[in-house]
Homo-oligomer: A and B are copies of this chain.
Amino acid sequence: MAQLVRVQNFTVSCDGIAAGEDQTFEQPFGHAEPERLFSWAGATASWPNRTDPGGTRGLDDYFTRDYARGIGAEIMGRNKFGPQRGPWENEEWRGWWGDEPPFHTPVFVLTHHKRPSFTLSDTTFHFVDGDPATVLARAREAARGKDVRIGGGATTVRQFLDADLVDTLHVAVSPVRLGHGVRLWDSPDELLDRFHLEVVPSPSGMTHHLFWRK
């Protein structure tokens, strides 16, 4: 089996925006209320953060349960890890996810500013500087033959797309319109020169976009 580089369950508004502006500790997605964008995933039976049994087992559930299948490492942008900018003032911030992050693999956080690795439960965060191909080489090795997930945000996904390093891309497009913020694309058609695309409407109102390399 080839080792793939995958974007999974990346959610954007119908106008292509993945996160709002003015990210803070209280608002990881800035002005974009994440519950409006991500409620499709939280409704499914396989959503990892469920606290109650139940949940839907229709189409959207196939996507939430595919999120971790065969993944051996994740690469994320610094703004997915936290709202800080510039040099790390201290090392107290350990991500948004508490003591049990939902990754369960090595995670490579892109940053120009050095910081030691640390481990929370079965997730180890590494802080790495470098171009996408160099960071991907490290993540591939850490994944030990499994796939590498590009975890976002939009800027990071774009960097890896622009470097032509992505094999498959699943983007869940919400009916919500955000107007402004951090943009993934103007239109999914931008990727059609390099990718096959299937567009699959879900009964939940989401429209799943499934890309794979030509």
Contact = CB atoms under 8 A, between A and B. Distances in A.
Interface of A: 2, 45, 53, 56-59, 62-63, 65-66, 69, 168, 196, 198, 200, 202-203, 208, 210, 212
A201 to B, nearest CB: 8
Contacts of A57: 168, 196, 210, 212
Q: Please classify the interface of chain A as helix (H, G, I), strand (E, B), loop, or mixed, using the class held by over half of its residues.
A: mixed
Given A198-B203, A203-B198, A65 B58 contact: no
A212 B58 contact: yes
Nearest to A213: B57
Nearest to A199: B203
A63 B208 CA distance: 15
B53 A62 contact: no
Contacts of A198: 58-59, 202-203
20 contacts: A45-B212, A56-B196, A56-B212, A57-B196, A57-B212, A58-B196, A58-B198, A58-B200, A58-B210, A58-B212, A59-B198, A59-B200, A59-B208, A62-B62, A62-B66, A65-B66, A198-B202, A198-B203, A200-B202, A200-B203
A59 B196 CA distance: 12
B2 A59 contact: no
Nearest to A195: B57
A186 B9 CA distance: 36
A148 to B, nearest CB: 16
Given A58-B200, A59-B210, A69-B69, 19 more contacts: A45-B212, A57-B168, A57-B196, A57-B210, A57-B212, A58-B196, A58-B210, A59-B198, A59-B200, A59-B208, A62-B63, A65-B66, A65-B69, A66-B66, A198-B202, A198-B203, A200-B200, A200-B202, A200-B203
